[in-house]
Amino acid sequence: MKHWCMRFAILTVLGLSVAAVSPGAALVLPVRGLNLGAPKPDEVPQMVSFIREALPKEGVNVLVMEFDYNYQYTSHPEVVDPDALSKDDVKAIVEACKSAGVRLIPLINLLGHQSWAKKTLGLLRSHPEFDETPGKYPNNKGIYCRSYCPLHSDLHKIVFDLMDELADVCEADAVHVGMDEVFILADPDCPRCKSRNRAELFAQEVRTLHDHLAATHREMWMWGDRFLDGEVMGIGEWEGSQNGTAFAINMVPRDIVICDWHYEAVSPTAAYFAAEGFRVLAAPWRKTDVALGQLDLIYSIRTHADETVAPRMLGVLQTTWTDAKDFIKAYQRDNKAPRSAAEAAYTFKALFNTIRALQ
């Protein structure tokens, strides 16, 4: 327990009272998750073996897998990216998760992250009319990632079809919708969004996606950074928002699961989300001390907050941000794996070793 430093100051600031919570129960995290990108078709056997063999050994019980447009959607084949997974490929992953006792949650990035570098991804490549900034930023130069326009009248029929098809093939009871790092929103040249309040616009899209998933009896997961005021909390424009979306937190349902990512330092924002009524996961990446510090915070509040707030700290979601094959190589101690993959794998092992030791 040398990493478990009780953060009473955070609890006091947030108005959380110390309650008689069983330490044993508090140390059993409901969610012990790993976030991976979807493999290429020829990498599926490697992924299946990793799921069956490594995840139970480490104690992982949730796998958030990012598919985006790397699945052969039949509802809208025009959005499919090259070298996408077939239904049989995904079913092999689903069966591996079942045998390993792992809950599979598919991730499709919505609103933002509709491009990467010079590549525009499937939705906006096939439906440029949905672009928030059509005709602007040729070759995506000068921007981080494109966004779709959440007010386009034809958008959500396609988005809902994709969400449903992906959830169905994954046999999933939840979908992670991304929505992180949205920098393009209410663009002044968008005929629908210009002059709109960004917080209201962001909240409206969150509610629209949430309500569709709720109607299909599925849970919504998302990244939490756009709900955080980056300036007030001192976390900047990436891990928090500096473009006016933070107030959206007051306008969205509380049954959304927030994945609170921080990679460089331990922020008390997971406690903030819990105090606001959300269930929350700490999501570290490749700095072991940050990951263990975030775990400290989760355990501290699960143990010392009152019985209303404590259960909202669900656990952790280790991120990887590298090709799945490279992360698996690094996990297997292959010295040919990229450095970032090796750092993420080392952090993953250290984090889950600590969790297993405490449970």
CATH code assigned at 159? 3.20.20.80
Task: Please answer whether residues 232 and 220 qualify as being in contact, where contact means their C-beta atoms are separated by less than 8 angstroms.
Answer: no
Burial class of residue 39, CB neighbours in 10 A (0-12, 13-18, 19+) = buried
What are the pLDDT digits (tens) for 280-338? 999 999 999 999 999 999 999 999 999 999 999 999 999 999 999 999 999 999 999 99
Which residue type, as a one-letter code, is found at position 220?
M
**Confidence band for 4, pLDDT divided at 50, 70 and 90:** very low
In a domain, 2, yes or no: no
Q: Is the pLDDT of residue 1 over 80?
A: no
pTM for this one? Answer: 0.93
Please tell me the least confidently modeled range out of 23-37, 164-178, 248-262.
23-37
For residue 195, what are the domain limits?
8-358
The two structure tokens encoding residue 331: 């996990």
- How many domains are contained in the chain? 1
What does the alpha-carbon distance between residue 304 and residue 290 come to, in Å, rounded to a whole number?
Answer: 21
Q: Which two tokens stand for residue 37?
A: 């990108």
Is 1 domain-assigned? no
**Rounded mean pLDDT of 183-193?**
95
Residue 39 corresponds to which amino acid? P
pLDDT for the residue 25: 78
Structural domain contains residue 282: yes
Is the residue at 255 inside a domain? yes
Which residue bears the tokens 């210009």? 194
How much is the average pLDDT of 346-355? 98
Q: How confident is the model at residue 23, as a pLDDT?
A: 59
Give yes or no for a contact between 12 and 301, defined as CB atoms under 8 angstroms apart: no
Task: Determine the Cα–Cα distance for residues 22 and 303; give it in Å rounded to an integer.
Answer: 7
- Mean pLDDT over each residue of the chain, to the nearest integer: 93
The predicted pLDDT at position 359 comes to: 85
Question: Is the pLDDT reported for residue 9 higher than 60?
Answer: no
Q: Cα separation of 289 and 284, whole Å?
A: 10
- Percentage of residues in the chain with pLDDT exceeding 90? 92
Position 247 pLDDT exceeds 70 = yes
**Domain presence at residue 317:** yes
Pairing assessment for the beta strands 62-66 and 257-261 based on DSSP bridges: unpaired
* pLDDT value of position 17: 34
* CB crowding 88-110: b at 16 or more within 10 Å, else e: ebbebbbebbeebebbbbbbbbb
pLDDT of amino acid 14: 37
Tell me the per-residue pLDDT of 46-69, one tens digit each, with 9 for 90 and over: 999 999 999 999 999 999 999 999
Residue 3 forms part of a structural domain: no
Close Cβ partners of 189 (under 8 Å, ≥ 6 residues apart): 133, 136
